[in-house]
C-alpha cells in the first residue's frame, strides 16, 4: 500500500456500478463486491472493509432519511489498493 506521501497511480478506467439504496443488501457488501469485481478478485480474498472505513458510519451516511433519500454528497477512501468513491445517488466508483 502506498504511504501517505505517495499517491496511488491510476491507469485504468474506473469500474462503476449502481447501488440501490432501498435494497436490503448493506452498502458495505456492495462496496466489497464492487472492489472485488474491479480487481478481478474473490470478495473473500479482500481485507475486511472495516480496516479502511467505519462500515456502520458508511451505512448511516447514505441511508434513507425520514424526509427521503439524500440527494447530494460523496465519500472517498482507499480500500484494498483502490480508490473507492460513493455518491448520494448510489454510484460506487472503483479506481484500481
* Separation of alpha carbons 28 and 6, rounded Å: 27
- Flag whether 3 is in a domain: no
- Flag whether 46 is in a domain: yes
* Separation of alpha carbons 17 and 8, rounded Å: 21
- Flag whether 10 is in a domain: no
- Flag whether 37 is in a domain: yes
Number of compact structural domains in the chain: 1
- Flag whether 5 is in a domain: no
Q: Exposed e or buried b for every residue in 3-35, given b needs 16+ CB within 10 A?
A: eeeeeeeeeeeebeeebeeeeeeebbebbbbbb
Q: What is the pLDDT of residues 12-38, one digit of tens each?
A: 799 999 998 778 899 999 999 999 999
Q: What is the pLDDT of residues 58-76, one digit of tens each?
A: 998 887 777 776 678 899 9
- Flag whether 7 is in a domain: no
* Separation of alpha carbons 10 and 83, rounded Å: 9
Question: Reduced to 3 states, what is the DSSP secondary structure of residue 78?
Answer: strand
Write down the pLDDT at residue 8.
47
Domain that holds residue 43: 15-95
Residue 55 C-alpha cell reads as 462500515
Does the structure show a pLDDT above 50 at 5? no
Q: What is the pTM of this model?
A: 0.82
Amino acid at each position: 500500500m502506498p504511504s501517505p506521501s505517495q499517491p496511488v497511480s491510476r491507469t485504468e478506467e474506473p469500474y462503476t456500478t449502481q447501488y440501490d439504496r432501498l435494497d436490503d443488501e448493506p452498502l458495505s457488501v456492495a462496496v466489497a463486491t464492487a472492489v472485488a469485481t474491479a480487481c478481478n478478485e474473490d470478495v473473500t480474498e479482500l481485507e475486511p472493509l472495516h480496516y479502511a472505513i467505519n462500515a456502520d458510519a458508511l451505512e448511516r451516511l447514505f441511508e434513507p432519511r425520514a424526509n427521503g433519500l439524500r440527494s447530494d454528497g460523496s465519500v472517498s477512501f482507499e480500500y484494498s489498493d483502490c480508490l473507492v468513491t460513493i455518491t448520494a445517488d448510489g454510484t460506487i466508483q472503483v479506481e484500481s
